[in-house]
Structure 1
Amino acid sequence: MDNDKERSLIAYNHITYLLNIVSYFTAGLLWIAPIVMNYVRRHEADGTWLATHFDWQIKTFWYSIFFFVIGMILLFISFGGLGISAVMDSGHLAAGSLLFAFLGVAVIGVTVVWHLYRIIRGWIALASNRPVP
């Protein structure tokens, strides 16, 4: 890979990392843009240290989506259980539903922190011209 191509891909990755961070301030609306961008140009970095950054961001996106959905499912289950417990006047069902709500919020919270960690760690590695593991 020539120097101009490498600089171009480095700048491109800086943009995708930035969009990942900015997506937190747009209620996730920009979250899809960096993943599409990574898929579009990832083949250009094959066999280079930059390929690790494309793969890193793609894996971060998909694992984050997976665990976020799990957290949301847990929350939906808890809301349903709370509704049923209110109708049936069941304290035990309400307690179980609150546990599901706590687990859902915890999974989503850990996912957000993990996502931010991966984006920041990858961006620092990119700024140092190093691959990510």
Structure 2
Amino acid sequence: MPETDYAAFEPKSEGDRTLMHILYGLHTVAWASMGTLAVIALVLNYVKRSDEHDAVYASHHSYMIATFWWTVLWLVVTSPLWLFFVLPGVVAYTIIGLWYLYRCLRGWLRFSNNRPPY
């Protein structure tokens, strides 16, 4: 089994850290753009994750990607509630939105403390 030469990996720059904060920020305020900012951040998460060698950074990219797709899944699953009455749809989407916000803020705070998202 080959050994990994950790000296070959570049240390994380301040720009990498700033980009991660921007991505968390885009995900967090995505509700203001009806999800457009989240899609932009999602694309950047996929691009940056594929080049990532740092386990903490890669796990945060995966965390944001998973949060986005789970949110989309639950929005689609609960969308028929809007057909019955408005109130169940509003309640479901509010709960999903709060969960999304919680996940974004939790991950962002853990990243700020140099900890993995989980």
What's the TM-score, normalizing by structure 2?
A: 0.81
- Rounded to whole Å, the distance in 2 between the matches of 1:106 and 1:27 is 17
Where does structure 2 lack aligned partners over 5 or more consecutive residues? 1-8
Q: 1:107 to 1:46 in 2, by over 3 A?
A: farther
- Matches of residues 13-28 of structure 1 in structure 2 within 5 Å? 13-28=20-35
User: Which residue identity lines up with residue 31 of structure 1 in the other structure?
Assistant: A
- 2:9 paired with 1:10: no
Paired amino acid for 1:32: V
2-structure distance, mates of 1:126, 1:23: 19
Question: Matches of residues 39-78 of structure 1 in structure 2 within 5 Å?
Answer: 39-46=46-53, 48-75=55-82, 77-78=83-84
Looking at structure 1, the residues matched to 54 and 22 of structure 2 have their Cα atoms a distance apart, in angstroms, of 21
Match of 2:106 in 1: 121
Q: TM-score with structure 1 length normalisation?
A: 0.73
Structure 2 distance, partners of 1:2, 1:44, is: 12
Could you say which residue in structure 1 is the equivalent of 2:3?
none
Larger of the two Rg values belongs to structure: 1
Cα deviations by residue, 1:67-123 (Å, 9 ceiling, x for unpaired): 112222221x31xxxxxxxxxxxxxxxxxxx3xx43322221111000000000010
Distance 1:30 1:49 in 2: 23
Superposed, 1:105-116 pairs within 5 Å as 105-116=90-101
Q: Which runs of 5+ in 1 are unaligned?
A: 79-97
Percent of aligned pairs sharing the same letter: 30
When the two chains are superposed, the root-mean-square deviation of aligned CA atoms in Å is 1.7
Query: Is the helix fraction higher in 1 or 2?
Result: 1
Q: Which amino acid aligns with 1:2?
A: E
Deviation sequence 1:17-62 (CA, Å, 0-9, x none): 1111232222322221010000011022245111110011000000
